[in-house]
Structure 1
Amino acid sequence: MNTRFSRIPLSLLAPLSLVAAVAGCGPLSDDEGGHAAGRSFTVAAAGDILMHPELVEQARKDAKRTGKGVAGLDFGPMMAGIKPLISKADLAICHFEPVVGTENGPFEGFPDFQVPPQTATTIKNLGYDTCSTASNHTLDHGYEGVRRTLDALDAAGLKHTGSFRTQKEALTPLVMNVKGVKVAQISFAYGFNEPHTLPKDKPWLANGMSLKAVKAAEQRARAAGAEVVILSIHWGLEHHPNPSAQQLSFARQIARHTGINLVIGCHAHVVQPMEKVDRTWVAYGMGNQIARHEVPTGLTEEGVIAWFTFTEHGKGHWDVQPRFEPTLLEIPPDAENATDGGKTAYTEDDARDYRLLDVPTALRDDHGLTDRQRARLRLAFERTEGTLKNRGAAKDGLKALTPMR
């Protein structure tokens, strides 16, 4: 990866001025001046990372096999299937939803997540560069939980935005140098799970969603030199493949009243459509990158890596080409939820371990897939593709990054 990153200190911020650099394109003109034409970079972005207790146990099981990991946990084998793609992007963006605990636990699932800090190292090793951290779970363990989470991401070498340890940090834009282009990431959440609220003495602890707040964050990023601004947003209704009325309305406000170049959404835990709103691409929901809900639905194991190619056409004008790569988390049979009272045994077709797969790559490589496994992968691809395109994205250029064989 050819990426260098920097946070712009507050002392260097110019007076706030909103530079509209929306994701559209126009013919290059000599008198537009500025940067040379044709600068280009790629962005990969994926859905919620939620290490439920079953996934922590899988990491413990894998650590015994590999002899690697930290404090008896190795999350690498579980997520290795997406590394070849994620590591190819010039900028790879994760959504880190939960709160980090201490290295040896205790670890908790819903409702107040507390996950191993070892997950951050795995995310970095996959090729991720930065993570959004504003979610409905950000405040699950108060200020100390936010601090532990950001400290763990820092220790792993991951950039982050959306929650903050100090007011200065909250007001300092995350601007990254991506192949010579200054790219900013901003992150917001629709709200926080009760009974958790922003502390009165720390209202800057995490970003709550409003058009005013989003515009202000974009203005700070532009004033700090950002040429492209990407909004990570935690919104919508859980387990609903269709975007909510609030998502649709807010997407249009963003497209028409800000200069944000790309919107990438999470929270629904299922894949939602992509849509070009005016000149701005919106990925309403990318499903789960990895999670293990109490009752898997089939949809909660399916996700998507959204892939965007940004190409400059004249100063401040960017064409965004969208692509998608479906993913699938293979899960072992769950005896507790078996309809025969827990007597279900493994069959030759069943997964023995939790494994995150790049769907078209798994189909291409095959490696002895059974007919049942192959059919499941095809279902994941076709359902993800159908959902992504059901608001007309195909006519605006959305295609599979890797076609299904």
Structure 2
Amino acid sequence: MSSTERSSGPGPGGKVARAALGLIVVAAAAGVVTYRIGLWRPSGPADPPAKVRPVAEPVAATGKTVTILAAGAILPGPEVWDQARRDGGGIFDFAPMMAGAKKTVSAADLALCHLGTPLAAEGPFSGPPRYVAPAGVAKAIADTGFDGCATASEDALDRGPAGLARTLDALDQAKVGHSGTYKSKAQSQKPRLYTANGVKVAHLSYTLTLNGGKLPAERDWSVARATEEKVRNDARDARQAGASIVVVSIDWGSETEHEPDVDQQELARAIATMDDVDVVFGFGAHVVQPAERIGDKWVLYGLGDFLSRHPQPVNGNREGTMMRVTFSAGEQGDGWKVRAVEALPTFIDLNPGIRVVDLEQALADPGVPAGRRRIYEAAVDRIESHVLNRGAAGTVLKVRATSR
């Protein structure tokens, strides 16, 4: 039907029929009053000028520094593989999903990820509750700028010792370091060392649970389990191997819970007494958890997810943090000290495609539509509240991308 139709004859009673989109006709005794309310346009009114949040200045520190960045969990389930297949035109390509964080990740002196699933070169792939994902994830991890990954997780043995070995092979092929799972006892006894800006850094990785499974007694070395004794001994060995900085990654916590549970808190307090450990990065809850300074040690209980798509996606499991820790040499020659901790919020876009969003970079972009900008701003506010929930406000820890 056209937007306006008029009868061609006088008709009974001299009535005139009108059907006009955007017109309201009000009959009154004195005549007919017409109000024009305008046509709806699909584009809607123009968005107001974007209120960008500029990228903050880098942390200022005197002398030589080392920046270590850890990102949240990489948990590639079925929807993530499907997106990779679409992005690759039928061949798995996971790099476009992570590309939004590449600038920040690659700028760190040492960038570490947490790989939460086994990998395999060929299918069938599965998950959840038992995961195995395409080996192309490893190449995307390298392309994004990560130097290494923690591989000790509750799902590390979902495909048994063979699946564990295939995962490490895929990371080796992509030239990505790894810590926490091992193909041999000899490998498990050697700490993973990196050189970051000329400084040796050890990365130790552990998990509290194994998806309901148990390690065979003859292979109890294949996945590093998080106990106070093991962390203490491994950190000591790392120092003896030449590490100037020792960072620990732990898969722990109650899923979907923003507060650290009792097991997390007890182990965190034990690790905080260890002279050989400098900082703890936590994973496993799949939501952001607080940062807490215990004595002179920083425990970052939960970084959330970096890349995932849960069966029931909600704000909590789409939000994460990249934690960037800046070390500088002690003024009294007493080793490397934490000078700054920065939480860089991330978000997982699901539409029109799955994409990791570096929220600081996104909110500095005036081209981000107003509606999406509001979603990102709300995510930053929630992430900030979780990170600062255990007394970290007013310390050397800062949450970036906020309005302040």
Q: TM-score range by the shorter chain?
A: 0.7 to 0.9
SS at match of 1:177: strand
8 Å CA contact retained: 1:236, 1:268: yes
Is structure 2 residue 176 aligned with structure 1 residue 151? no
The residue aligned with 1:209 is 226
Shift in Å, 1:246: 1.8
Shift in Å, 1:274: 0.6
Is structure 2 residue 271 aligned with structure 1 residue 254? yes
The residue aligned with 2:204 is 186
State the distance in 1 between where 2:166 and 2:151 align.
12
8 Å CA contact retained: 1:236, 1:246: yes
Is structure 2 residue 73 aligned with structure 1 residue 48? yes
Q: Which amino acid aligns with 1:49?
A: I
The residue aligned with 1:38 is 63
Structure 2 residues without counterparts, runs of 5 or longer: 1-61
Shift in Å, 1:191: 1.5
Shift in Å, 1:372: 2.3
The residue aligned with 2:143 is 125
Larger radius of gyration: 2
Shift in Å, 1:85: 0.4
Q: Which amino acid aligns with 2:245?
A: V
8 Å CA contact retained: 1:381, 1:404: no
SS at match of 2:270: helix
Shift in Å, 1:307: 0.8
State the Cα deviation string for residues 90-138 of structure 1 (Å, max 9, x = none).
0000001100122x32111111100010010000010000100001001
The partner residue of 1:320 within 323, 326, 339 is 339
The residue aligned with 2:16 is none
Q: Which amino acid aligns with 2:383?
A: T
Q: Give every structure 1 segment of 4 or more consecutive aligned residues whose post-TM-superposition deviation is greater than 3 Å.
A: 401-405
SS at match of 2:112: strand
Q: Which amino acid aligns with 2:355?
A: R
State the distance in 2 between where 1:290 and 1:278 align.
32
What aligned pairs does 1:248-327 form with structure 2 within 5 A after superposition? 248-313=265-330, 314-327=333-346
What is the TM-score normalised by the length of structure 1?
0.82
Shift in Å, 1:317: 4.2
What aligned pairs does 1:110-121 form with structure 2 within 5 A after superposition? 110-121=128-139
What is the TM-score normalised by the length of structure 2?
0.82
User: Would the alpha carbon gap of residues 130 and 404 (structure 1) be closer, same or farther in structure 2, given more than 3 Å must change?
Assistant: farther
- RMSD of aligned alpha carbons: 1.4
Q: How many residues align?
A: 341
The residue aligned with 1:3 is none
Q: Which amino acid aligns with 2:174?
A: A
State the Cα deviation string for residues 148-177 of structure 1 (Å, max 9, x = none).
000000000000000000000000111111
State the distance in 2 between where 1:273 and 1:380 align.
15
Q: Which has the higher contact order (CA 8 A, sep 6+)?
A: 1
SS at match of 2:248: strand
Is structure 2 residue 173 aligned with structure 1 residue 164? no
Q: Which amino acid aligns with 1:123?
A: I
The residue aligned with 2:11 is none
State the Cα deviation string for residues 345-368 of structure 1 (Å, max 9, x = none).
xxxxxx211111111211211424
Shift in Å, 1:182: 1.1
